[in-house]
């Protein structure tokens, strides 16, 4: 494939510099209007969050049967779209696809902004965000949420490095080409970033190698972020969430929606800053191809997720799948499937719609459809009561949760527009490089790109409910056998009956013997109840039954038991001479010296050691990743150093 | 708003301390750079060890107020005799009164369902005091702890309200304070607000605490046990092998054996400390089909 860049070596170079300077000039009234509108939406979102903070999460539509819903779906969806930056920049860098050159800065910027916004969506998700520091001060490393945080922090850092490193040559070029147009603030910033960069072969080699290493690191990091996000769900035993496929399912979902976001961001800036000379129909079509390929994989994984559970027919997963196909969330599910996967594929498959408009509309559908899919996946399982084995009331949207969600969504274009007021929105050095190599394929004239902002998030009606009705109270009068009451009335007891008790300890077992006599002669066939005193559960003497034994011809009954505790106690034997009369009780004191408790602690899991090893190894891995990333920054800085000796000002690129 | 408690005694996050010198030295000589990186690595490694020990702390946290008794002396459990339960739900309301819960918060809830023959069954379900609690594992801030006497508790002053525990609990035993508990639903004063006797706070998770403030239950039994007129609820101690329902005392091991006691969702490996005695012909583990 040849580059579609308009290759005019002499003027083309000027064009790139000119193009990236456009956002630095005095913005149009339309720009400020857009900023103001987005800022209002963000402000309303923050206001709604403050209201939620005061009133509790109930105002956002949360209940105990929808304990996780829209905000965690926002986290997953927004961090998900940040993966697009990793695809376009990192994967295309590693595969040497030069057409990526004008797209990388915007897609990396979008990745950076969305990962920050996505991570911030955790705050409205939490009941007590004021205690967020507890994630560090009293961290539990066995928790998937802890590793969500670790993965997001590491990925954000890598994205930042990936975003900043290519700025070094770009800012140097702009400083030398148009120093007067930059303005004081940008000039100062660009000096700091590019200090020492002269564009020597050595510097370029070091930068390229550092970028390749960061690209190699960033891909598994992105995979880890979306996997750990999936594991926050998959590591609990709820139907629909507890699926081994969820980690790769989330990764593909992130890639799919991420490419869609890159399309939207590029379409927006291409139109806003007239970048048609650099970004043409082919860019959109190629991104569209990548998107639909991922979309097809996502449809496949959806089937692979649902089929095994549906086929086996366990109660929980069956209810969840029924809910998607025909039940409570069926409308949303089919909307996702048709609008979020089939329509985008058709739009890009058909030659008539395979143009910028078609690709942008497909991307809008994908972004909204994938958000809906995340909401379905989370809300439905959350509302399923695993005890009653039926659905409780599902989540319903309120103005608070919609306002917070829209506020976060509006923050993405807002932050991007402001970001590219500060840093160049295309990679000048890379585009120049590609231009220099480019063959002379003319850029195709194209339709104006669709305005991509203002993604409407439908707040349409409440979901269908299934009510749990509790059965009527039944009243029967049976009493449990052991609750039989003591004798009520005392009528003519056999006053001369006696019970003599002896107790002997033999190792851990204790033999209690009761001899029942009446009028001096042994009573045969008398039922004797044996008890042992305990200090448990009562301040006085509480008696634990040991069993009932009938006396033999010598009038004695014997019970043997193993004491659970050592110490002094009273053993007693009681006998009722008449059914309604008072029992005759004999006791014996005993000092138990040996005991065997029936209690044994549960066995430890065979995988417990593996878990700790995994945790430690993962910590090691995180440290290594950070060191690698820092080392790349250091390498590039060092390559810049010889040219700027004697300027000891502090400068950081990260 | 309060700050997270317990942060004073713990080490500060050392990675930040390590990274800052590394960043400051980026422009110095290579040796300094490498030294900075090395420091960062060492600090991060130290942080690793520190964090891993947090987990152990969470596991080993002990419940105060048990008279200094250790886990060797008591291992609390409960027994629910389903033969006796008639679905009066007196346990449910007694629990709500004692812990100042709003009507939708049922730390103790009684499932009820009919079989095909029209027989009605009841099953009270509450925190099963698992010995391998899924909720404890997933809590990102170690707010859920297991005492050495086997009681699972939530520290209302640490909980950040992530609700990961609600997702993880297979017994649906946890409830969130979605709105500010109204004054009538606040704890009977004075509320000590300990994990054993928590006061309800906006934005945190609560659940059955087995009335752990009454441990070792020598004068008062858990509210649900005292409330049941039929003696369906037992509080027991596995070590001394005794259980009581407020009406009678049983030898726990014998009672469980003779009653063919089972545990709920045994297959999940949670090792619950709640035993159910079936006997009315009901399927153990709740309804087999959905309760609509």
Question: Given an 8 Å threshold on Cβ–Cβ distance, is A128 in contact with B161?
Answer: yes
A338 to chain B, any CB pair closer than 8 A? The answer is no
- Asked if B103 reaches chain A (Cβ–Cβ under 8 Å), the answer is no
CATH architecture of A489-592: Sandwich (2.60)
Q: Which residues pair with A529 in a beta bridge?
A: A548, A574
Q: Using one digit for the tens of pLDDT, what is the confidence trace for A142-192? A: 899 999 999 999 999 999 999 999 999 999 999 988 888 888 889 999 999
Pairwise CB contact (< 8 Å): B84 & A479: yes
Q: What is the pTM of this model?
A: 0.82
Q: What is the pLDDT of residue A306?
A: 92
Average pLDDT, chain A: 84
pLDDT attached to residue A433:
82
Query: d(Cα A274, Cα A287) in Å, to the nearest integer?
Result: 19
Q: What is the spatial distance between Cα A198 and Cα A188, in angstroms, rounded to a whole number?
A: 17
Listed by number, the residues of chain B in 41-100 with a beta carbon closer than 8 Å to a beta carbon of chain A are 41, 44-45, 48, 51-52, 54-55, 58, 75, 81, 83-84, 86-89
Q: Which residues of B touch A129 (CB under 8 A)?
A: 160
Asked if B238 has any chain A CB less than 8 Å from its own CB, the reply is yes
- Other beta carbons within 10 angstroms of residue A353's beta carbon come to 15
- Compare CB distances from B167 to A68, A136, A468 and report the shortest one's residue: A68
pLDDT of residue B151: 94
Q: What is the pLDDT of residue B47?
A: 57
Taking the Cβ of residue A607 and every Cβ of chain B, the question of whether any pair is shorter than 8 Å is answered with no
Taking 80 as the threshold, does the pLDDT of residue A1 lie above it? no
> Between B233 and A518, where is the model more confident?
B233
Q: Tell me what the pLDDT averaged over chain B comes to.
A: 78
What would be the CATH architecture of the domain defined by A9-133+159-456+622-643? Up-down Bundle (1.20)
- Listed in sequence order, the residues at least 6 apart from A159 whose beta carbon sits closer than 8 Å to its beta carbon are A82, A85, A86, A108, A111, A112, A115, A218
Nearest of A113, A370, A80 to residue A254 by alpha carbon: A80
In chain A, % helix, strand, coil (3-state, to 5) comes to 55, 10, 30
Does residue B233 carry a pLDDT above 70?
yes
**DSSP annotation string for A83-123:** HHHIIIIIIHHHTT-GGGTTTHHHHHHHHHHHHHHHHHTHH
Intervals of CATH 1.20.1630.10 along chain A:
9-133+159-456+622-643
Hey, of B12, B249, B273, B287, which one would you mutate to test binding to chain A, going by the most A CBs within 10 A of its CB? B249
Residue in the structure block whose two tokens are 């965000």: A129
Banded model confidence at residue B35, pLDDT cuts 50, 70, 90: low
Nearest-CA distance from A373 to chain B in Å? 19
pLDDT of residue A170: 92
Q: Specify the pLDDT at position A507.
A: 82
How much of chain A, in percent, has pLDDT values that exceed 90?
Answer: 57
Chain B residues close to A652, C-beta within 8 Å: 23, 26
Among A341-345, A359-363, A511-515, B286-290, name the one with the lowest average pLDDT. B286-290
- Evaluate if residue B231 carries a pLDDT over 80: yes
Q: How far apart are CA B117 and CA B263, in angstroms?
A: 25
Question: How far, CA to CA in Å, does A435 sit from each of A7, A19, A649, B32?
Answer: 6, 14, 35, 40
Q: Cβ of B244 and A538 within 8 Å? A: yes
Which of B111, B122, B178 shows the shortest C-beta gap to A387?
B111
Question: How much is the pLDDT for A481?
Answer: 39
Dump pLDDT digits (tens) for A430-483: 888 888 776 444 434 443 333 333 333 333 333 333 333 333 333 333 333 333
Q: Does B256 touch chain A (CB under 8 A)?
A: no
- Check CB contact under 8 Å for B176 and A626: no
Measured between CA atoms, the residue of chain B closest to residue A466 is B292
With CB atoms and an 8 Å threshold, state whether B164 touches A144: yes
Tokens 């527009």 locate to A417
Strand partners, B112: B122
Confidence band for B38, pLDDT divided at 50, 70 and 90: low
Segments of chain A assigned to CATH 2.60.40.730: 489-592
Distance from CA of A441 to the nearest CA of B (A): 44
Distance from B79 to chain A by nearest Cα, in Å? 14
């Amino acid at each position: 494939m040849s580059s579609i860049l308009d290759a005019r070596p002499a003027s083309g170079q000027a064009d790139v510099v000119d193009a990236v300077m456009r956002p630095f000039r005095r913005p149009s009234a339309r720009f400020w209007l857009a900023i103001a509108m987005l800022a209002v939406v963000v402000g309303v979102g923050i206001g709604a969050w403050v209201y939620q903070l005061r009133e509790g999460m109930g105002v956002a539509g949360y209940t105990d049967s929808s304990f996780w819903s829209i905000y965690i779906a926002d986290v997953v969806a927004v961090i998900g779209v940040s993966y697009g930056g990793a695809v376009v920049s990192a994967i295309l860098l590693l595969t040497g696809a030069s057409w990526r050159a004008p797209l990388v800065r915007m897609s990396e910027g979008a990745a950076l902004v969305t990962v920050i916004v996505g991570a911030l969506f955790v705050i409205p998700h939490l009941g007590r965000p004021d205690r967020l520091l507890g994630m560090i001060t009293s961290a539990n490393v066995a928790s998937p949420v802890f590793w969500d945080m670790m993965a997001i922090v590491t990925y954000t850092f890598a994205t930042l490095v990936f975003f900043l490193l290519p700025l070094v040559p770009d800012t140097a070029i702009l400083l030398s080409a148009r120093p007067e147009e930059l303005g004081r603030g940008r000039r100062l910033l660009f000096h700091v970033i590019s200090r020492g960069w002269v564009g020597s072969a050595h510097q370029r080699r070091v930068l390229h190698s550092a970028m390749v290493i960061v690209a190699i690191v960033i891909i598994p990091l992105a995979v880890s972020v979306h996997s750990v996000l999936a594991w926050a769900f998959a590591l609990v035993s709820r139907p629909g969430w507890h699926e081994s496929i969820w980690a790769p399912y989330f990764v593909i979902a992130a890639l799919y929606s991420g490419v869609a976001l890159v399309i939207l961001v590029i379409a927006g800036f291409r139109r806003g800053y007239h970048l048609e000379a650099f970004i043409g129909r082919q860019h959109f079509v190629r991104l569209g191809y990548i998107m639909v390929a991922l979309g097809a994989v996502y449809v496949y994984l959806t089937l692979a997720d649902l089929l095994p559970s549906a086929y086996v027919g366990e109660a929980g997963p069956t209810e969840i799948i029924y809910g998607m196909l025909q039940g409570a969330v069926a409308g949303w599910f089919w909307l996702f499937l048709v609008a979020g996967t089939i329509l985008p594929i058709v739009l890009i498959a058909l030659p008539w719609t395979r143009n910028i408009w078609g690709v942008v509309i497909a991307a809008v559908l994908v972004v909204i459809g994938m958000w809906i899919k995340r909401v379905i996946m989370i809300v439905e399982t959350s509302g399923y009561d695993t005890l009653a084995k039926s659905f409780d009331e599902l989540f319903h949207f309120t103005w608070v949760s919609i306002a917070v969600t829209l506020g976060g969504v509006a923050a993405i274009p807002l932050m991007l527009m402001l970001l590219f007021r500060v840093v160049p929105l295309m990679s000048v050095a890379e585009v120049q490089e590609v231009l220099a190599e480019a063959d002379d394929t003319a850029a195709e004239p194209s339709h104006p790109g669709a305005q991509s902002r203002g993604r409407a998030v439908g707040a349409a009606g409440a979901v269908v409910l299934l009510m749990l009705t509790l059965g009527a109270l039944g009243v029967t009068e049976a009493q449990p056998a052991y609750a039989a009451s003591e004798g009520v009335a005392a009528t003519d007891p056999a006053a001369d009956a006696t019970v003599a008790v002896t107790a002997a300890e033999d190792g851990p077992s204790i033999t209690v013997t009761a001899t029942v006599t009446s009028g001096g002669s042994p009573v045969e066939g008398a039922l004797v109840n044996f008890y042992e005193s305990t200090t448990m559960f009562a301040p006085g003497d509480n008696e634990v039954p040991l069993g009932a034994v009938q006396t033999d011809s010598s009038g004695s009954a014997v019970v043997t038991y193993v004491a659970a505790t050592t110490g002094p106690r009273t053993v007693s034997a009681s006998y009722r001479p008449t059914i309604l009369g008072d029992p005759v009780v004999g006791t014996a004191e005993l000092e138990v010296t040996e005991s065997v408790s029936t209690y044994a602690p549960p066995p430890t899991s065979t995988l417990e050691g593996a878990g700790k090893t995994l945790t430690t190894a993962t910590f090691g891995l995180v440290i290594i990743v950070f060191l690698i990333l820092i080392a790349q920054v250091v390498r590039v800085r060092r390559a810049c150093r010889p040219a700027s000796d004697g300027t000891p000002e502090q400068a950081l690129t990260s | 708003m309060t700050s997270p408690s317990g942060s004073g005694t713990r080490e500060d996050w050392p990675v930040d301390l390590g990274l800052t010198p590394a960043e400051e030295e980026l422009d110095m000589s290579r040796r300094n750079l490498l030294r900075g990186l090395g420091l960062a690595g060492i600090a991060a490694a130290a942080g690793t060890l520190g964090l891993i020990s947090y987990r152990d702390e969470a596991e080993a946290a002990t419940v105060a107020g048990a008279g200094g008794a250790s886990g060797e002396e008591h291992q609390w459990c409960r027994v629910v005799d389903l033969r006796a339960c008639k679905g009066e739900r007196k346990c449910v309301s007694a629990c709500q009164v004692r812990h100042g819960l709003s009507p939708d918060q049922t730390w103790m809830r009684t499932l009820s369902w009919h079989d095909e023959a029209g027989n009605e069954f009841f099953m009270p379900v509450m925190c099963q005091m698992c010995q391998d609690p899924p909720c404890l594992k997933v809590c990102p801030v170690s707010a859920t702890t297991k005492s050495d006497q086997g009681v699972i508790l939530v520290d209302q002053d640490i909980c950040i309200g992530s609700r990961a525990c609600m997702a993880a609990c297979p017994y649906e035993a946890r409830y969130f304070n979605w709105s500010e508990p109204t004054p009538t639903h606040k704890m009977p004063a004075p509320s000590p607000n300990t994990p054993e006797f928590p006061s309800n706070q906006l934005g945190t998770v609560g659940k059955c605490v087995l009335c752990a403030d009454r441990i070792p239950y020598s004068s008062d039994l858990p509210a649900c046990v005292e409330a049941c007129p039929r003696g369906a609820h037992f509080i027991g101690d596995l070590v001394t092998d005794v259980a009581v329902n407020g009406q009678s005392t049983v030898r726990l091991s014998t009672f469980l054996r003779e009653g063919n006691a089972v545990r709920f969702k045994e297959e999940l490996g949670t090792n619950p400390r709640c035993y159910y005695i079936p006997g009315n012909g009901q399927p153990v583990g709740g309804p087999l089909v959905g309760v609509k």
